[in-house]
Amino acid sequence: MDFSKIPGIDSLGDLKGKRVLVRADFNVPLEGGAISSDQRVTAALPTIKLLLEKGARVVLCSHLGRPAGSGFEEKYSLAPVAKRLGELLEFEVPLAPDCVGEDVAKLVGGLADGRAALLENLRFHKAEKDADEAFGRQLAALADAYVNDAFGTCHRGDASMTWPAKLLPSAAGLLVKAEVDAMAKVLDNPARPCLAVLGGAKVSDKIPLVNNLLPKVNEICIGGGMAYTFLLAEGYGIGKSLCDDQLVDECKKILERARELDVVMHLPKDHVVSGSLEDETAHEVSGDIPDEQAAFDIGPHTCVNFSDAIKRAKTILFNGPMGVFERERFSNGTQVVVNAIAEATQAGAFSVIGGGDSAAAVEHFGAVEKMSHVSTGGGASLTLLQGGEMPALEALVK
C-alpha cells in the first residue's frame, strides 16, 4: 500500500468541541488487578494530549486480554487503565459501563471540551472480533471523527479498527504515523546500502519476510534458529539445531533468488553449541555442527562478519535475536548485533527494530534510546514488513 496516503491528525481540521473516537492499544499486562507495565498507556499519551489541546472531546476505546465475548468479565475490565490515565492526564477519566448503548452515549454526550472518557473493553462483545458492521456503526455514532492509534492491532480487521474509519473523517494517530513512516523508510526508498538482520526461532515465520525484503535490500544477515534450515539447504551439518525440514527447498530457492538479485546473504560460519539449553558446557565450533550438539547462538567470527555488514549500512532493519539471549552463555551474538546497530545509528544510519523479541532484546541490552525507531507492533510490524494485508490502515485511506 501507499503509506503516503495515510492521513494524519492535521487532516481532520478544527476539532474544538468535536467528539473524537480514538482506538488505542491498552492491552496492558495485569498482575493482581493492577497494571504491571504502563508502556502501552504512556505510548498513547502524545496523541491523546494533542487532541485535548485542540479542544476535542476524546472517546478512548481498546481491547484487553481475551474475554469470551459474551459480556462483562471483571478480570478484563479497563478500570485499571482508566485510573492510570487519570493519573497521567491529571484529571479523572471516567470509565463507561460498556462500549455501546444508551448509557455510553449519555456519558460521551456529557464530555466537556478538552476532556476524555474510556469505553469498557471492546471484546466483551463478540461482534468486535467478528468485524460486525452494526457494532462498528454503533461505535462510529458516538463520534464526529476517528483516530487509529493502535498500531499493534492494525493487521486485524476488527470492527473498531475498520468501520469507524470507513464511516467518519479519520486519521492515523501519532504512534501509528511514526510506525508507518519508519517502515516506509525501509520498504519504499531506503538509503543504501540497506541491510536486514533477521533472527528468531522459526524459519516458517520469516520466509514471507525474506521474500518481501529481497528486492528491497542489499544484504541480509540471518542468525537465530531460523539460520539452520538455510545452512542445511547449503549442505552444512547442523546437528540437533532447530530446523524445518519441509522448508529446506524453499530456503534453497531464496538463496538462489538472492544470487540472481545480487543480494549478499550472510549465514553463520561458526556457532555456540551445547547438548541442550540446560547443558552448561557451551563451546564454539566452526563449519559443521556435531550430531549430538545444537547451536544456540552465533559464534565470534560470525559476530565480526555481521558487525562489518552493519557498519557499511545506511538503513538497518533488525527483526529477531541471534540466539537465546535470555541465557547469558547464549547472549553474546545478540548483544554484539544490538551494540553494532546502536553504533551505526549514532553514526548516521537509520535503524528500525521490528518489535516483539527484537524490541525486547534492544531493551534488555539498554539500547532503546540509541535506535532510530523501536516498533511497538509485534505481529503488526511483521505483517507490514512482509507486505501482508493491513485492514485497519487500508480503511484510513479514503
Enumerate the domain spans of the chain: 3-174, 181-385
Closest CA to 222 of 234, 190, 294, 240: 234
CATH code reported for the domain at 3-174 = 3.40.50.1260
379 confidence band (pLDDT: 50, 70, 90): confident
* Mean pLDDT of all residues in 282-308: 95
Is 356 a known active-site residue? yes
DSSP secondary structure string for all residues of 128-177:
HHTT-HHHHHHHHTT-SEEEE--GGGTTS--HHHHHHHHHS-EEE-HHHH
* pLDDT the model gives residue 197: 98
In this structure, the number of other CB atoms found within 10 A of the CB of residue 259 comes to 11
> Residues 136, 299, 333, 356: which is the catalytic one?
356
Please state, for a pLDDT cut of 70, what percent of the chain lies above it: 100
356 confidence band (pLDDT: 50, 70, 90): confident
Give the 3-state secondary structure of residue 27. coil
220 with 196: CB under 8 angstroms?
yes
> Residues 18, 19, 23, 40: which is the catalytic one?
40
Question: Can you tell me the distance from the alpha carbon of 234 to that of 285, in angstroms, rounded to the nearest whole number?
Answer: 17
| Check whether domain 181-385 has CATH 3.40.50.1260, yes or no | yes
* pLDDT the model gives residue 3: 79
274 confidence band (pLDDT: 50, 70, 90): very high
Burial of 88 (0-12, 13-18, 19+ CB in 10 A): middle
Fold match flag (3-174 vs 181-385): yes
* Mean pLDDT of all residues in 5-31: 96
Global pTM value? 0.90
88 with 43: CB under 8 angstroms?
no
pLDDT in tens, 222-251: 999 999 999 999 999 999 999 999 999 999
> Residues 83, 126, 129, 202: which is the catalytic one?
202
Is 348 a known active-site residue? no
Is 237 a known active-site residue? no
Answer whether residue 2 shows pLDDT above 80: no
First to last CA, the chain: 13
Beta strands 145-148 and 170-172: pairing type?
parallel
Question: Can you tell me the distance from the alpha carbon of 166 to that of 78, in angstroms, rounded to the nearest whole number?
Answer: 26
Question: Can you tell me the distance from the alpha carbon of 107 to that of 117, in angstroms, rounded to the nearest whole number?
Answer: 8
> Residues 86, 114, 275, 379: which is the catalytic one?
379
Is 137 a known active-site residue? no
